[in-house]
Amino acid sequence: MQQGKDEDRKDFMLRVASEYIRKNCLNGKIIYDDAWCDGNCVAIDCEEASDASYMEEATELEYLSWFRMNADFGPAHSGVIDAMHKLFRKSTDKRVPAGWSDDE
């Protein structure tokens, strides 16, 4: 990991800690803020505590592409995606773009 050009050291170290926790401590548990938290919870809190203003902002397409590839709706996943595709077609009178539908 590299510290961003305009990134404060404290924010960089929070990112380092978050990455370390994700790679090495996901199954660990700790109580803070009156709740049991696992490694992922701690990593997310570290990320949220840092100032990410030095980071480049993603485009909507970058974010939506990432979201589509990483969203997990659990056991109902395929049903949710199918319902979203049907609602998109009904709302816009357009087909889902190539590569975004599991039907292809």
- Looking at per-residue pLDDT, the higher value among 87 and 57 belongs to 87
Distance of alpha carbon 14 from alpha carbon 12, whole angstroms:
5
What's CA 2's distance to the chain center, in Å?
20
Q: What is the DSSP letter of 55?
A: S
Q: How is residue 8 written in tokens?
A: 């404060």
pTM equals 0.48
Give residue 103's pLDDT: 58
Sole residue written with tokens 């980071």: 55
Distance of alpha carbon 47 from alpha carbon 14, whole angstroms:
6
For the chain, the domains span 9-54, 60-92
Nearest to 16 by CA among 41, 66, 57, 50: 50
Indicate the pLDDT class of residue 95, thresholds 50, 70 and 90: very high
Give residue 59's pLDDT: 93
Give residue 60's pLDDT: 93
* pLDDT of 4 strictly over 90: no
